[in-house]
Amino acid sequence: MSAEKGDNAVALVIDENHVRKVASSTLKKAGFRVLALSSAEASSDFFRDNIGALELAVIDADMEKADPYEFVRMIRDVAPGLRVLLLSGDIESTLVNACSAQQPCWTMRKPYRRAQLLGHVMQAINEPLVLRA
């Protein structure tokens, strides 16, 4: 599974099969190329192999067996410029643990509707990065 630069590729890392399928379908209908993964463990090589080709990683921060802080750190290590959208039922805790001023990420509270997902994806891709010291 790989992406080509400029093809609106979004990595989707969600462990719940039904939720992953609905999110993938929503983004595909909006014209995105979706590369869906079911676990954090399966994604390290994927992000390394697709450095520079992805526009965004959409990650379920509440996945079992995955620490969102460590997962985002791994992504930053292998794909430093990749934008990250974290989906979580506990946004405040996720922000404190996984995002930083030097490497910002976007968040969205779960549960969400399809239109909300698409809106947050578009915002994360299009919003200018403002890095703070």
Structure tokens of 107? 């968040």
Q: Does residue 2 surpass a pLDDT of 70?
A: no
pLDDT at 115 over 50: yes
pLDDT attached to residue 119: 96
Q: What is the C-alpha to C-alpha distance for residues 84 and 79, in angstroms, rounded to an integer? A: 11
pLDDT digits (tens, 9 = 90+) for 56-110: 999 998 888 878 778 888 888 888 888 999 998 876 665 656 676 556 788 899 9
Contact present, 99 and 132 (Cβ < 8 Å) = no
Output the pLDDT for position 94.
Answer: 58
CATH for the stretch 9-126: 3.40.50.2300
Rounded distance between C-alpha atoms, residue 63 and residue 85, angstroms:
14
Q: Is the distance from CB of 90 to CB of 129 less than 8 angstroms?
A: no
Structure tokens at 66: 């995955």
Distance in angstroms (rounded) separating the CA atoms of residues 124 and 128: 9
Domain regions of the chain by residue span: 9-126
Q: What would the mean pLDDT of 13-21 be, rounded to a whole number? A: 94
Q: What is the pTM of this model?
A: 0.86
